[in-house]
Amino acid sequence: DAELADLGTDDSSREEAPDSGPLPVVAVVGRPNVGKSTLVNRIIGRREAVVEDVPGVTRDRVTYEATWRGRRFTVVDTGGWDPDATGMALRIAEQAQIAAELADVILFVVDATVGVTDSDEIVGHVLRGSGKPVILAANKVDNQQMELEAAALWSLGLGEPQPVSALHGRSSGDLLDVVLDKLPETPPQRFGAERGPRRVALLGKPNVGKSSLLNQLAGEERVLVDPMAGTTRDPVDELIQLGGRTWRFVDTAGIRRRDRELKGADFYASMRTRSALERSEIAIVLIDASEVLTEQDLRIISLVIESGRAMVVAFNKWDLLDEDRRYYLEKEIDRQLVRVPWALRVNISAKTGWHVDRLVPAIEKALDSWSTRVPTARLNAFLTDLVAATPPPVRGGKQPKILFATQAATEPPKFVLFTSGFLEETYRRFIERRIREEFGFAGSPIDVTMRIRE
C-alpha cells in the first residue's frame, strides 16, 4: 500500500509555482465520528494527534494546503463542527451542500465498521445532486478482512467505495491517487467568460449590520434568484441594482438567516465566509465601528486576504460614534489592519443610509484594480529605473539583477521577476510597494514573486 509518510506541505515548492492561480479545493464531508479529521490530518501530513474525542469540540481552522505527487490542492475540513442531535439531519445536509458549493472534488467519508446510516443516506443524496465529482471513502478499514464491509457502501449509489484506514494510513495513498485523478487540471473559472453581474460577498461577524445594509441597498427592487432545485435551501443570491449596474450579492440567504445561536455557529460561519469568497470577486467586510475590533473581524479579513479577492472595508454604525471612539478607532486600525493597507475604506451607517452611496465607487475601483494588467514594456521600463536608483542588496558578494519582469496574472494581479540571484524579502516588498504607487492597485491584493535564472 502506498503510505502518506512523506506527504505534507512542502514550502520549497511555493517559490516554484507562485503564479499557478487558485488551488483546486477538496472538501471532506461526512457525519460526526467517521474519521474526517483523522483523514484530513493524514492528507496534510500532520503527525501530532489533534483529533478530539470530545464531541462538539470546535476546531478553528477549516482549510489546509496539501501536496500529493507534486500536485497542490486545498483541503477543507468540515469535521470541526459537530451538529447537535436536534435538527442534525438538516444541518448535515446543509453542511454537505455548502461543501459541494465550494469544492471542486468532494471526499465523502463513511465509517465502514458501522455501515450506511440515515445521515450517510442524506449526505449521499445531497452529493449525488451536486454535479461535483464525489469520492466515497470507506474509512476504518484497518485490515484486509474489513474490505468486505467496505463493499456494502456501494448501496449509496456513489460508485466504488475506496477502502482506507485514516488512523493507520492503510491505502491512503491509493485514495489520494483517486482524488488527484478527479482534480481539475486548472481550477474552473469561477466567474465564466461572459461575465454577467460582478459578484460581491458581504461579510462580517453577527450583528455588524449585514442584513440592514442589504435591505438598505436592495430597497424595494430586491430580486431573489437561484432557488436550488430539489433542496430545502433558501434562494442563494440576490441581484441588486446599484449605480446603474446589476450586482450579484452571493449567499444572501446565509446573511438573512439567523443561525447565530446554534452550537458551532462560529465554525459554520467561517465555512460560509469561505464559500461566499470562493464564489465572489470582491468582499465588502463590514465592521462595527462603535465597538472595539475583535478577533473575529480580523479572522474574516484574513480569509479575504487568503482568497486573493478585492476588498472594501466598511466601518458601519458611524452614527453611534463620538469623538473619543473615533480617535481610538483610528488607533486600532493603524495597529490591527497593517496587513491590508491596500484595502479601500468607507465609513457608513446602514441604519440611516449615511454614505452608503460611497460603497459602489469603492467596489468599482477595487474591481478595476483587481483586473488591471500592466503592459510588459511599461513594467520593465519602470523596474529598470527603479533598480538603477535603488539596487537590490548584495548577497554573497554578488549583485542580483532583475533580468525581466512580467505580469503573469490578473484577478488578483501577480507579477513575476526573473532574476540573476536571490532578492531579499524586504527588497521584494519594496518593489511591491513601488508597483502599487506607480500603477495604482487600491482595493486589490497583488503578489510579487521571483524566479531565479542561473
Helix (H) / strand (E) containing 385:
helix 376-389
Asked whether position 139 contacts ligand GDP by CB under 6 A, the answer is: yes
- The number of C-alpha atoms within 13 Å of 290 and in the hemisphere containing its C-beta is 13
**Which stretch, 182-190, 238-246, 317-325, 439-447, contacts ligand GDP (CB under 6 A)?**
317-325
Please, are residues 120 and 90 in contact by the beta-carbon 8 Å criterion?
no
36 labelled binding-site residue = yes
Asked whether position 285 contacts ligand GDP by CB under 6 A, the answer is: no
For ligand GDP, the binding residue among 6, 11, 53, 324 (CB under 6 A) is: 53
Least CB distance to ligand GDP at residue 279 (A): 19
In angstroms, rounded to a whole number, what is the distance separating the alpha carbons of residues 55 and 37?
Answer: 12
User: Restricting to residues 61-90, which ones interact with ligand GDP according to CB under 6 A?
Assistant: 79
List residues bridging with 245 in a β-sheet.
242
Residue (254 or 392) nearer to ligand GDP, CB: 254
* Phi-psi group of 157: left, alpha or beta (phi > 0 → left; psi -120 to 50 → alpha; rest → beta): left
What is the DSSP secondary-structure string of 289-312?
A: TTS---HHHHHHHHHHHHHT-EEE
DSSP state of 398: B
In angstroms, rounded to a whole number, what is the distance separating the alpha carbons of residues 451 and 351?
Answer: 50
- All three cell numbers of 268, joined, read 459554520
The residue written with cell numbers 472595508 in the block is: 313
Least CB distance to ligand GDP at residue 126 (A): 17
All residues at 6 or more sequence positions from 8 whose CB lies less than 8 Å from its CB, including other chains? 44, 45, 46, 66, 67
In angstroms, rounded to a whole number, what is the distance separating the alpha carbons of residues 300 and 175?
Answer: 33
Asked whether position 254 contacts ligand GDP by CB under 6 A, the answer is: no
264 labelled binding-site residue = no
- The number of C-alpha atoms within 13 Å of 44 and in the hemisphere containing its C-beta is 23
**Which stretch, 4-12, 204-212, 356-364, 381-389, contacts ligand GDP (CB under 6 A)?**
204-212
Asked whether position 275 contacts ligand GDP by CB under 6 A, the answer is: no
319 labelled binding-site residue = yes
Asked whether position 142 contacts ligand GDP by CB under 6 A, the answer is: yes
Asked whether position 33 contacts ligand GDP by CB under 6 A, the answer is: yes
**Which stretch, 234-242, 269-277, 328-336, 349-357, contacts ligand GDP (CB under 6 A)?**
349-357
Asked whether position 176 contacts ligand GDP by CB under 6 A, the answer is: no
> How wide is the angle at C-alpha 113 spanned by C-alphas 60 and 87, nearest 5°?
50
Least CB distance to ligand GDP at residue 260 (A): 7
CA dihedral 327, 333, 334, 337 (to 10 degrees): 180
For ligand GDP, the binding residue among 198, 199, 210, 272 (CB under 6 A) is: 210
Asked whether position 136 contacts ligand GDP by CB under 6 A, the answer is: no
Asked whether position 162 contacts ligand GDP by CB under 6 A, the answer is: no
- All three cell numbers of 177, joined, read 491517487
34 labelled binding-site residue = yes
For ligand GDP, the binding residue among 36, 309, 414, 436 (CB under 6 A) is: 36
* Chain length of the chain: 454
In the complex, the residues that contact ligand GDP under the rule CB under 6 A are 30, 32-38, 51, 53, 79, 139-140, 142, 165-167, 204, 206-212, 255, 316-317, 319-320, 349-351
Residue positions in the annotated binding site for GTP? Answer: 30-37, 77-81, 139-142, 204-211, 251-255, 316-319
